[in-house]
Amino acid sequence: MSSNPTWTKENSLTYTVELDGRRVDLRYEASGFQSGWAVYADNELVERCSELMQARGLALAIASKAP
């Protein structure tokens, strides 16, 4: 990994991590008892996580993968 990840808080419900040209988005999706953080890579849903820290870890792992 040649660079450090850059985290951006777009608003209280949307975050982005960028690393080596890869971008992964985190979006909070309110859905009653199923509310949680959705992780998107290339505008495709990868996984939903109940906790922000879990979603951040997944997003960083995805962004760290070589294309």
pLDDT tens track for 3-29:
899 999 999 999 999 999 999 999 999
Strand 14-19 versus strand 22-29 pairing type: antiparallel
Q: How far apart are CA 31 and CA 8, in angstroms?
A: 24
Q: How far apart are CA 63 and CA 66, in angstroms?
A: 8
Distance, CA of 55 to chain centre: 6
Q: How far apart are CA 66 and CA 41, in angstroms?
A: 13
Query: What is the value of pTM for the model shown?
Result: 0.88
pLDDT confidence of residue 1: 47
Q: What is the mean pLDDT of the chain?
A: 93
Q: How far apart are CA 26 and CA 41, in angstroms?
A: 9
pLDDT confidence of residue 48: 96
